[in-house]
Every structure is written in C-alpha cells, then in structure tokens.
Amino acid sequence: MRFRNFSFGSVEIDASTYEHDIVIDRGQVRERDKKPSKKLRHAFGHTPLSLLEEIPWKCRQLVIGTGAHGQLPVTPEVRHEAERRKVELVILPTSEAIAVLNRRPRETNAILHLSC
C-alpha cells in the first residue's frame, strides 16, 4: 500500500481516494464505523476510538492516526487491550502515522482519522 496526498478529510491509498475515516486490516481498507463510540463523545469532547468499535487486532503493531491536528481521543481501554494482546500501539497525528505506514512495517494494521 502506498499512501499519498493526505489533506484534511481525504487520503489517497494506491489509486483510490478516501474521504472518511478508514481501517486497514491485513491489507484491506474499510470505512471506520465510529457509531458505537458516539455515546462516549460527551466524556471526551470528540467521538473517541473505543473498544465498542471493530478494531483490527490481528497484528503486531496498530498505527492510529489521530487526525490532521491530533484530536482523536483513544480510550484507556483500547490502550489496555493492546497491552493485553501484546500489540504495539503507535498513536500519532495522521500525517505522521502515514509516514510510518509508508515504511511498510510488517504485521501492521491501522485506523486513520482523516479530519480534525
């Protein structure tokens, strides 16, 4: 996978442009379903990434892009679950997360927030 042209609200992966948050699970791209986490918005001021979502745990490393300005909160439960599963979490603003992914780390999945 080759990531290019990230800007607020969109990213190009290979020949496709995505304009919504995405999940990369073992080379497959799908839209992030953040609806289950919306009920936690009041506690975080933003819809967080939580265990209520389908997280791609089958990896050694999970890269989380927290948005153009790094505003996506990650719940403590996600961090604990990663530790329990022995999955290394890399949590960075999305442009930096994309730079990590462009180095093509093995056994790495990702969740990328494309806006704020």
CATH number of the domain where residue 75 is located: 3.40.1230.10
Q: How far is it, in rounded angstroms, from Cα 59 to Cα 37? A: 22
Work out the pLDDT band at 4, boundaries 50, 70, 90.
confident
Contact partners, residue 42, CB within 8 Å, separation at least 6: none
Residue 5: is its pLDDT beyond 90?
A: no
Question: d(Cα 110, Cα 83) in Å, to the nearest integer?
Answer: 16
- The number of distinct structural domains making up the chain is 1
DSSP state of 27: T
Single pTM value for the model = 0.95
User: What residue numbers bound the domain in which 58 lies?
Assistant: 3-113
